[in-house]
Chain A
Amino acid sequence: MSAPRIVYNEGYLDEQTKRVVRRALLKGVAIPGFQVPFASREVPMPRGWGTGGVQVTASIIGPSDTLKVIDQGADDTTNAVSIRHFFEKVAGAASTTLTEQASIIQTRHRIPETPLREHQIMVYQVPIPEPLRFLEPRETETRRLHALEEYGLMYVKLYEDIAKYGHIAKTYDYPVLVNGRYVMAPSPIPSFDNPKMHQNAALQLFGAGREKRIYAIPPYTDVESLGFEDFPFEPQRFDRPCEICGSSGVYLDEVFIDDKGGVMFVCSDTDYCERTATAGERRQTMEKSA
């Protein structure tokens, strides 16, 4: 006798749970940047590996969707590959590594270099959704601060950075003001990616599984990175191009290449890097043959 086949509901979560998450998502979209509490469920992966993102994706994905999953910009890391396989299995969704073909992009730590378009959805995995957390430990108090729009505390953090380092030293999870109202943690994306959130054509959803919060930025919403008048926000910059594809103005990873401490700087967005590199090679061969 063969082992009984396990049948999963479409998208793994049961319909009631998906309703709960969708309702939280709708509320999140209605109040951009506001953290909506939701009943986070167990998913077959440990908390901290993107359970929030997986629940959000599970609630919006269907067989007609094409999913891309990136982890630190890369499509080929363990976590990204297994989440992609997971949804191929439980939702019957197609998957891709090409940014423009994806209808849903679940991400940890990066926004793709290729500009997003309308009707695409970004799903961010969020470890700590509360931007004020390390300044104010009490959840009751931070909620009140959000409700009353009291964000002096956030600036204390920036002040401390300038006092200590001479500039704002926070380079990831850089706090933003969404739609002129709520201060929001954009998940640990590099501050390099912060400007991409502003007036983005795609819908951006944030899921924090362990902390049980969902929030969202609707398409074409103002997202302003905080700063002082005399020390405004400055995204990270790189003074060199990618050593594989040669693009500049992209986010680079430092990769060790030998045991002597040799390093190279390459695009963190593997999809973008591959395609730029292939396009470059094609151009070179065309030039040679011409």
Chain B
Amino acid sequence: MNNETPLLSVTGAGHRYGDRFGCRDVNFDLWPGEVLAVVGESGSGKSTLLGMLSQRLTLDEGSISYLTTRESSAGREDGTEFELLDLATLSEREVRRLWRTEWGFVHQNAAEGLRMHVSAGGNVGEPLMANGWRNYSKIRSEAEMWLRRVEIPSDRIDDAPATFSGGMRQRVQIARNLVFGPRLVFMDEPTSGLDVSVQARLLDLIRQLVAELGLAVVIVTHDLAVARLISHRTLVMKDGAVIESGLTDRVLDDPQAPYTQLLVSSILQG
């Protein structure tokens, strides 16, 4: 693994809606295997930031660079080489390649990330087929393995997510996003809208998978408990700007910015 360069490096990034900035002047580095939580109230620019990082929204200011891996042509021993990409300059084909092979995106609403009327197995197998897998049995057994990993019983593999509960849909979505072995996963409020007990299990699952696979994750949440549970570092956003950042425990236990202090103290203590 390359230890000198961060996986994702964001400098002065901003996105503009008309003449107003949705978020601005964001700086951070994300290292392989690191989980970064972005917290803040509704309208603070969290989702805009995520959209910008994932190339769904244009980058109007600053730069984002990403360290991609490629099959080595020079025949190096580990078979891969690293290349630093400036995301703003990438062609659509390149961005799509990243989505197919290196990036995952877990939506808040599973219906956006899944084909609701295609079977769970088909949903999980689709990224594999997009990557050129053409052997039915292999695709199916891989999908089955991943569904098992996210605790979906294997007799549900041929059922459509439309027949699943919210928690199950979210787990299928996670399986679909991890099946091709991504290096970076974006998550937009993956647990909100779920029952509290389901939330806890899902977080546990995400934490376990992230640790096993050494994924880098950017997770957007308005729930500080989620940030506390799974992230290493936290960015606090307000009005489109990052007002505080640091290790999650430091930010939550010893908040410096007045807004963060307010946010932390507003959690119901039970």
| Interface set of A (CB-CB < 8 Å, partner B) | 135, 144, 148, 150, 152-153, 155-156, 159-160, 162-164, 228-231
A153: chain B residues at CB < 8 Å are: 126, 129-130
Residue picked from B96, B136, B158, most chain A C-beta under 10 Å = B136
B93 touches A148 (CB 8 A): yes
How many angstroms from the CA of A135 to the CA of B135 in the assembled complex? Answer: 20
Besides the contacts A152-B127, A156-B122, what 15 more A-B pairs have beta carbons closer than 8 Å? A135-B115, A144-B92, A150-B96, A153-B126, A153-B130, A156-B126, A159-B129, A162-B136, A163-B121, A163-B122, A228-B134, A229-B134, A230-B135, A230-B137, A231-B136
Q: Are A229 and B130 in contact (CB under 8 A)?
A: no
Across the interface, which residues of A come within 8 angstroms of B127, CB to CB?
152
Check B139 for interface membership: any CB of A closer than 8 A. Answer: yes
User: With a CB–CB cut-off of 8 A, which chain B residues contact A155?
Assistant: 129, 134
Write out the residue numbers on chain A whose beta carbons fall within 8 Å of the beta carbon of B157: 163
Most chain A CB neighbours (cut-off 10 Å) among B93, B96, B100, B122: B122
Do the beta carbons of A159 and B136 come within 8 Å of each other?
A: yes
**Binary per-residue interface labels of chain B (132-169) against chain A in the complex, 1 for a CB within 8 Å, 0 otherwise:** 00111101100000000000000001100000000000
Q: Is the CB of B125 within 8 A of A159?
A: yes
Which residues from chain A contact B224 at a C-beta distance below 8 Å?
none
> B119 interface residue, CB < 8 Å from A?
yes
Q: Is B194 an interface residue (CB 8 A)?
A: no
Contacts of A229 in B (CB 8 A): 134-136
Verify if B118 is at the interface (C-beta below 8 Å from A): yes
B residues with CB within 8 A of A: 92-93, 96, 100, 115, 118-119, 121-122, 125-127, 129-131, 134-137, 139-140, 157-158
A151 CB, nearest partner CB in chain B, Å: 8
* Chain A contact residues, majority secondary structure: helix
Are A163 and B131 within 8 A (Cβ)? no
- What residues of B have a CB within 8 angstroms of the CB of A156 in the complex? 115, 118, 122, 125-126, 129
Among the listed A144, A148, A160, A228, which residue makes an inter-chain contact with B122, where contact means beta carbons less than 8 Å apart?
A160
Q: Enumerate chain A residues within 8 angstroms of B118, measured Cβ to Cβ.
A: 156, 160
* Cα(A148)–Cα(B130), bound, Å: 12
Within the assembled complex, what's the spacing in Å between the Cα atoms of A159 and B158?
Answer: 11
Residue pair B135, A159 in contact (C-beta under 8 Å): no
Known: A228-B134, A229-B134. A163 touches B158 (CB 8 A): yes
B115 with A228: CB separation less than 8 A: no
Q: How far is the CB of B101 from chain A (nearest CB, A)?
A: 12
Given contacts A229-B135, A230-B135, contact A159 B92 (CB under 8 A): no
Q: Which of A150, A155, A229 has the most CB of B within 10 A?
A: A155
B180 to chain A, nearest CB (A): 11
Assess the A159–B134 pair: CB atoms within 8 A. Answer: no
Q: For the complex formed, measure the closest distance between the CB of B52 and the CB atoms of chain A, giving whole angstroms.
A: 21
In the complex the two chains form, is A159's CB within 8 Å of B139's CB? yes
- Bound Cα distance from A164 to B119, whole angstroms: 9
A150 cross-chain contacts in B, Cβ below 8 A: 96, 100, 130
Which residues from chain A contact B130 at a C-beta distance below 8 Å?
A: 150, 152-153
Give 11 A-B contacts (CB < 8 Å), ordered by A residue. Answer: A144-B92, A148-B92, A153-B126, A153-B130, A156-B118, A159-B125, A163-B121, A163-B158, A164-B119, A164-B158, A228-B135
